[in-house]
Amino acid sequence: MGPAAAEAAPPGASSAPTQPLVPYDRIAGARLLATRVGPTSARFQADFHERLAAWLAFWSANSPPSWSTPVEVVAEVAPAGDALTLHSVRVRRGEDLADRFTAARLDAAHRATEASLHHHFPSVRRLPDGTLRVRDGSAAFTGSPDQLAFVAGACRELWGLTAAGAADWRDHANAALGRAGHRLDVASRSGWAAFTRTSLRLGLRTETYQ
């Protein structure tokens, strides 16, 4: 489902006020780092930053108990403050830091982190370099190509439903939900929330859903 085409404002009409951008150097307590730069402050739309904080807290709450809360997030923020490209999420392991999500490693934790973003945002895209691009908005199942690609990929890589593809993603996702104890349709609001949450927990090995 593509974005609606923007319409030009009629002559003399005033444009909608732009939401002011607010500088932040952390997301939910984790330091914000820019690639090849290090610790940084970025300008966000305030509601987008709040959603990102809720997302990272959700990711942490569904991670293994042995992991610390996230201490660093490596990401790039769009100039408009309403989109973010995620490179890494780091936790503390003793005296060291460990990447528990990194764009360069397409493992179960990568797909799980993608699931966690889909749980909170309507637009999440896996880019060719493995980074995850997320845009602001309220979580919803939209049936977009990015969402359908995620569902099929999660079914294959996390749930072991290797035949899942573009034509039968829904049947496989609903079977995965049934395995997790949910009699829901993945395309419903509650079904989408359950599928993304259980895929996160499965990918981070917090649950097995046998």
Q: Profile the chain (210 residues) by mean pLDDT over runs of 10 residues.
A: 36 52 98 94 98 98 96 98 99 92 98 99 98 97 98 98 96 98 98 99 96
How far apart, in whole angstroms, are the C-alpha atoms of residue 195 and residue 149? 14
How far apart, in whole angstroms, are the C-alpha atoms of residue 157 and residue 164? 10
The count of other CB atoms within 10 Å of the CB of residue 78 is: 17
Question: pLDDT of 12-33, one tens digit each?
Answer: 333 445 678 999 999 999 999 9
Tokens 């966000």 -> residue: 44
How far apart, in whole angstroms, are the C-alpha atoms of residue 54 and residue 157? 26
Report the pLDDT value the prediction gives residue 4, as an integer from 0 to 100.
Answer: 37
Q: Counting Cβ atoms within 10 Å, is residue 110 exposed (0-12), middle (13-18) or buried (19+)?
A: buried
Strands 72-77 and 30-34 come out as parallel
Contact between residue 81 and residue 75 where contact means Cβ atoms under 8 Å apart: no
Report the pLDDT value the prediction gives residue 6, as an integer from 0 to 100.
Answer: 33
Report the pLDDT value the prediction gives residue 70, as an integer from 0 to 100.
Answer: 98
How far apart, in whole angstroms, are the C-alpha atoms of residue 150 and residue 187? 13
The reported pTM is: 0.90
Tell me the one-letter amino acid at 116. S
Tokens 């005296």 -> residue: 95
Q: CA nearest 117: which of 61, 31, 196?
A: 196
Report the pLDDT value the prediction gives residue 95, as an integer from 0 to 100.
Answer: 84
Q: Which two tokens stand for residue 136?
A: 């602001």
Listing DSSP states for 38-76 in one string gives EE--EEEEHHHHHHHHHHHHHHHHTS-TTSPPP-EEEEE
Mean pLDDT across the chain: 92
Report the pLDDT value the prediction gives residue 18, as an integer from 0 to 100.
Answer: 67
